[in-house]
Amino acid sequence: MAPAMTKSRPVRYQIFPPAELEELGSAPGATKSSVLVAALRAFLNRRGASELEQTFQVRPDRISRLLERIECNSHVEIESLALFVPYMPTVNAPLAEDDEVARAIGRDRFHAFIACLEQQLASGTRTFDPETGS
């Protein structure tokens, strides 16, 4: 046998509200109880949504914009490199098979380039900044 349905009665709670409640409850048409009920409903509605979602709702948009900028920059870098690499052999004369001096100079220049690149990356500065164009 199912229990009989009874009409629930309002429950009385004893609380110690902040002083601001006096000001809000004294507004025309407002009571302290109605202010407390509205505040409690608002709190419970907020708790219904994920707290993490509320905390981080702005970050996914920001991350998306940053990823789009990184993707754009990487396209510029890849395109520049893809155009530059085939261009270099067309403007540089080929080395003779037995020209070890020229090969040694090429190796030294390559190592100097790598050292310069390492120093530039370690310093955190950029030679070319796409945002400023310089």
Give residue-wise pLDDT tens across range 48-87: 666 666 667 777 778 888 999 999 888 888 888 888 888 8
Residue length, the chain?
134
Give the integer Cα–Cα distance in Å for 133 and 131: 6
Mean confidence (pLDDT) of the chain: 79
DSSP one-letter code for 130: T
- With pLDDT > 90 as the criterion, what percentage of the chain qualifies? 9
Give the integer Cα–Cα distance in Å for 106 and 10: 89
